[in-house]
Amino acid sequence: MSAVLTALGTLGAVVLAGYLLGRFRVLGEHAATVLARVVFTVAIPALLVVTVGRADLHVVLSRTAAVTAVSTAIVVVGAAVVVRGLWRRPAGEATIATLSASYVNAAHLGLPLAVFLFGDAVYVVPTMLFQLLVLAPLAFTVLDADAAGTTEGRRRRPAEAARATAGRVVRNPI
């Protein structure tokens, strides 16, 4: 229990320090934007590469990972049925609502908490991989296909949307 309190206390101290730095503009006007970009494009991808590189595949491809994938898929399907089917929301809106119901903050909260609590971030990797390799590309494809217009004022065909999404997935730093 003390490890949990220590981890949460440390995380709380970091959040408080960030708040105070921002509140009193210690790092300048654009610090929040710059720091967010550094974290998203450098720090988290580096931590993920190191974590996956050292990971035991039995943990990454474990029953727990399968349960995570299946339970997340059930939530995705359930949310999509309710939002799109029952509430009759447009595809783009339904996609965002479905992501809101199924996505967890495995990167920004999960990684540091796993490191603090377990000494290793590997336990968060299956969730992150499922979100980044399955959920995000599917969501981007649906959102792209649903987009009103593209070049020359025409709607994008699903195959074009899938290609554009695949390119974004490859270029995504996380």
Q: What is the mean pLDDT of residues 76-80?
A: 96
Task: Report whether pLDDT(47) > 80.
Answer: yes
Q: Which residue has the higher pLDDT, 138 or 159?
A: 138
Q: What would the pLDDT profile of 106-155 be if each residue is shown by its tens digit? A: 877 888 788 878 888 888 888 988 998 899 889 988 887 777 544 445 66
Q: What would the pLDDT profile of 8-21 be if each residue is shown by its tens digit? A: 888 899 889 989 99
This prediction's pTM? 0.73
The residue written with tokens 């440390």 in the block is 10
Coil, helix or strand at residue 9: helix
Task: Report whether pLDDT(67) > 70.
Answer: yes
CA distances in angstroms from 26 to 10, 14, 29, 30, listed in the order given: 21, 15, 9, 11
* Domain boundary assignment for the chain: 2-171
